[in-house]
Amino acid sequence: MKDAMTPTPANLRHLLSDATTRLRAAGIEAPQREARLLAAHAAGTDLTGLLRIDTLPPADHATFMQILQRRLHHEPMAHITGHTGFWSLDVAVSPATLIPRADTETLVEAVLDHLPDRNAPLRVLDIGTGTGCLLLAVLAEYPQATGIGTDINPDAARLATRNAARNGLAARCDMLCCNWADGITGPFDLILSNPPYIPHADLKGLMPEVVRHEPARALDGGADGLVAYRALAAILPGLLASGGIAVLELGIGQDHSVPALMHEGGLRILEIRPDLGKIGRALVMKK
């Protein structure tokens, strides 16, 4: 007689229907798609491959039920799968870093427009690199460019190093553990940063996926959300090359306060580029 806990084959259609209902009740957005993503991960395939599956074998069924429980507790999908897409890349993620967001791709778009020569031998600095996604996306678009990514968290710097190798870009960049750009010598043709910018009092109101599973240090911008920008305003002019540009990510409602800080620090505003939600997201500057 089989033990009640022994995994059994499962009809995929019924499994997805039940999972969708449970995910919806837990307040998960797009529950049907989330259920399918979980099933695809459990089966070792993608959403297209899932279309060819009618039944999950016992081991895959057991895996699906385990990761469904994790998602029901609002663990981010990227942490469950261990990776996510950003720009043209696939990057590994961990609790040491923020999960890359599509909004941040706005910075890459701005770089491509302001630095149109794809063969330029750019020297790039990414301050607070996290997964390394911003620096690596730019290096993928500029094959002659080299770069440095910095992060105060040694686990993040190690993850970024692995992501450089994962995407075939390790030979053109170094990921360093330091505070901001301590010990880094310019000039750089391009400086990138997605700094902490959430006002401290607003942190508790973020989505459970963020509050419970992403590092507060990478989110907390201090009382007014501007602490990191003040630090950047002090160091960017000394690191930028003549004719170089800096591109920073902005939070909601910061498209007036941050440019004012940067202008006071000696930088000229070239553009504030909105993301797909029409929020001013990428601040482009030069000396």
What is the structure's pLDDT at 2? 47
Sheet of 188-193, strands arranged across: 173-177, 146-151, 123-127, 188-193, 240-249, 280-286, 268-274
CATH code where residue 88 lies: 3.40.50.150
What is the structure's pLDDT at 27? 94
How far, in Å, CA of 11 to CA of 13, rounded?
A: 6
What is the residue-level pLDDT of the chain in tens, covering all 287 positions? 344 455 677 899 999 999 999 999 999 999 999 999 999 999 999 999 999 999 999 999 999 999 999 999 999 999 999 999 999 999 999 999 999 999 999 999 999 999 999 999 999 999 999 999 999 999 999 999 999 999 999 999 999 999 999 999 999 999 999 999 999 998 999 999 999 999 999 999 999 999 899 999 999 999 999 999 999 999 999 999 999 999 999 999 999 999 999 999 999 999 999 999 999 999 999 99
User: Is residue 118 included in any domain, yes or no?
Assistant: yes
User: Is residue 2 included in any domain, yes or no?
Assistant: no
Q: Is the peptide bond before 199 cis (omega within 30 degrees of 0)?
A: no
How far, in Å, CA of 147 to CA of 168, rounded?
A: 14
Domain extent at residue 222 = 83-286
Looking at the fold, whether 50 and 108 belong to one and the same domain comes out as: no
What is the structure's pLDDT at 8? 72
What is the structure's pLDDT at 4? 45
What is the structure's pLDDT at 7? 60
Nearest by Cα to 149 from 120, 168, 173, 185: 173
What is the structure's pLDDT at 9? 76
Given the structure tokens 């706005």, which residue do they identify?
Answer: 106
User: Is residue 1 included in any domain, yes or no?
Assistant: no
Total of domains in the chain: 2
Looking at the fold, whether 153 and 217 belong to one and the same domain comes out as: yes
Supply 210's token pair. Answer: 């963020």
Looking at the fold, whether 44 and 111 belong to one and the same domain comes out as: no
User: Is residue 33 included in any domain, yes or no?
Assistant: yes
CATH code where residue 15 lies: 1.10.8.10
Looking at the fold, whether 54 and 144 belong to one and the same domain comes out as: no
* Stated pTM of the model: 0.90
What is the structure's pLDDT at 6? 54
